[in-house]
Amino acid sequence: MIQSFPPFVNSKTEILILGTMPGIASLEKQEYYAHKRNHFWKIMYTLLNNLAIAEVFEEKIQLLQTNNIGLWDVLENCERKGSLDIHIKNHKENDFETFFKKFPGITTIVFNGKESHKFFLKKFGQIKGITYYVMPSTSPANTMTFENKLKIWSAGFQ
């Protein structure tokens, strides 16, 4: 059984980015999107400040929070061989009912990949007052070019 991370959100969070479950590299480093070839941080830094990507995880989170963006996963825990979402079984979703009561400023959810959206929608449906964007996964398993991912992701941050 693998466990997700706690949410990185605060009272100013308006946009919540949801993955499905951290991959092996992220679990080993205890940092979201830690795989070297994952495009997540490169996309965020390009969209938000166009500076070099910070090495320190806390600085990456600070960039998101400065821009009222939070980060979490749809699933609290699951069983999975490897890092691919298609291998997830025996999963449990995070408690989003309580979460959205605690953070009512969230008006947008950006799903990092179709699987996170699928798991969320199946359990919670469309939540009133929240706009959903389903973005291409930033995972290296998604072979779409960085440029194409960036173009699509930019739609959720205008």
pLDDT tens-digit profile, the chain (158 residues): 999 999 999 999 999 999 999 999 999 999 999 999 999 999 999 999 878 999 999 999 999 999 999 999 999 999 988 877 777 899 999 999 999 999 999 999 999 999 999 999 999 999 999 999 999 999 998 999 999 999 999 987 76
- Which among 10, 15, 12, 5 is positioned nearest to 154, based on CA atoms? 15
Residue 50 Rama label (left phi>0; alpha psi -120 to 50; beta): left
Q: Residue 43 corresponds to which tokens in the numbers above?
A: 């996309």
User: Do you know the residue count of the chain?
Assistant: 158
SS3 state at 140: coil
The pTM score is 0.95
pLDDT in tens, 54-68: 999 999 999 999 999
SS3 state at 90: strand
| Domains located in the chain, CATH noted | 2-157 (3.40.470.10)
131 sits in which H/E element: strand 131-135
